[in-house]
Amino acid sequence: MPEGKIVKALSGFYYVLHNQELIQCRGRGVFRKNKVTPLVGDEVVFQAENDTEGYILEVKERKNELVRPPIANVDQAILVFSAVEPDFSTVLLDRFLVLVEYNHIKPLICITKMDLTNEKQKMNIAGYAHDYEEAGYDVILTSSETESGIQQLYPHIEDRITVVAGQSGVGKSSLLNVLRPDLELKTNDISSHLGRGKHTTRHVELIKIGNGLVADTPGFSSLDFTEIEADELTSCFPELLNASENCKFRGCLHVSEPKCGVKQAVESGEIPIYRYEHYLDFLKEIKDRKPRY
């Protein structure tokens, strides 16, 4: 039986890429019975009825999956945040980073709209970029208007499935339009009333850029830490995880425990105070979460 990858899901149809051809498939009833929903990014076995239509028979094992947006087997997330309009938000970026790290997806931070910044804003962004690079993240500063920094993105996209995610209105569609101009994705200006953009993307689709596949998604509609437990949060902050090796007590949550390596690293300036404060806020949020039964 032929195998392929689902690159688009729309109105009950799954579009499977096989030998550079798209086969429009439906899922067999067995999936509903077994509560398996095929996702964009899935490797599947299908049966072709003819050259353009068929049925999905089997979904191969996934290495990861996201619920919102619904996509599987993601290698990387490009987290797109604007320097201004809307203003750069470390707390929102850190929420995205935690969710991406928890799902074992490699993050790449892309800060857009650098052409709109003044000198003071440029210096602030450069400082934040340095902090995140010190934590172990790749950071690329871009402008879709001037195309500055865009070329740096191509090597990261090659041979990977990449999700483009971030706050609405930061220029995700504009960025993809520069990476692949023939896409002509719809973009919306920032609403001056709301201070944020409207979602312009309605379904998940993998778009070929170079030798990579990039998902233009409706974005993370939920940034809640519903799946993460308190003792798992440290591992979602790479620099806290490194510093935690110096904690005296196993299972240290870096709040009020004595001889905590993380708190020592914060006091010495190795870990930026805002990253640690976000960790504490997220930890409290997880601890205050209503129990699930």
Per-residue pLDDT band for 290 (boundaries 50, 70, 90) equals confident
What confidence score (pLDDT) does residue 160 get?
95
The runs of H, that is alpha helices, within the chain are 29-34, 90-102, 119-134, 154-157, 172-179, 238-243, 261-267, 273-288
230-288 domain in CATH 1.10.40.50? yes
Residues 158-196 have pLDDT tens digits of: 999 999 888 778 888 889 889 998 887 666 543 333 333
Give the mean model confidence (pLDDT) for residues 215-242: 85
For 226, the token pair is 């519903």
User: Minimal CA–CA distance to 75: which of 227, 211, 218, 235?
Assistant: 211
What CATH superfamily classification does 71-216 receive? P-loop containing nucleotide triphosphate hydrolases (3.40.50.300)
Q: Give the architecture (CATH level 2) of 3-61.
A: Beta Barrel (2.40)
Over its C-alpha atoms, the chain yields an Rg (Å, rounded) of: 21
What confidence score (pLDDT) does residue 60 get?
93
Residues 44-69 have pLDDT tens digits of: 999 988 888 999 999 999 999 887 77
For the chain, what are the domain ranges? Answer: 3-61, 71-216, 230-288
Q: What angle do CA 11, 16, 19 make, to 5 degrees?
A: 155
Measured CA to CA, the distance from residue 16 to residue 4 in angstroms comes to 6
User: Minimal CA–CA distance to 44: which of 10, 103, 1?
Assistant: 1
Measured CA to CA, the distance from residue 86 to residue 57 in angstroms comes to 45
Per-residue pLDDT band for 197 (boundaries 50, 70, 90) equals very low
Residues 102-144 have pLDDT tens digits of: 989 999 999 999 999 999 999 999 999 999 999 999 999 999 9
